Amino acid sequence: MTYKVNILRADGSPAEMHTFKKKPLFAEVKKLLGEMTITIVDGKYVDHKTGASVKVEMWCDDNALMVNNPVRNYRASMLRWNYFKAMENELSDNWEDYAHIYGDAVFIFKENNQVKQNG
């Protein structure tokens, strides 16, 4: 099995994809991100063509809201939204307000037979 590490920049530029033969260590991912303070949250990647999905670990910029004009990361927010959507009956009515991710983010997942990513 391989692990995919995808960097999603808040500016909407193409994702940077990296492949690891085993689950990457914190230091390996941190080297890809640079000097940002990280918060790790859950997300869910959904392949809308096949319906397959996989839970992902998202590493988010903890200080992204502490700048003038913070930039919402729409792709990372969608991964978080997918995660919450699966349990929306257990959440408060305003659960979508908590699905927003700001700044750069990384999502990491173990590739399997149902969910494969090119790159």
Q: pLDDT, tens digit, for every residue of 23-69?
A: 999 888 888 887 788 899 999 998 878 888 889 999 999 899 898 99
pLDDT number for residue 116: 57
Phi, psi of 81 (to 5 degrees): -60, -45
Query: What is the predicted pLDDT for the residue at 90?
Result: 95
Cβ neighbours for 76, distance < 8 A, ≥ 6 positions apart: 8, 10, 43, 58, 60, 101, 105, 107
Report pLDDT for 119: 38
| Structure confidence by residue, pLDDT tens digits, 70-116 | 999 999 999 999 999 999 999 999 999 999 999 999 999 888 655 55
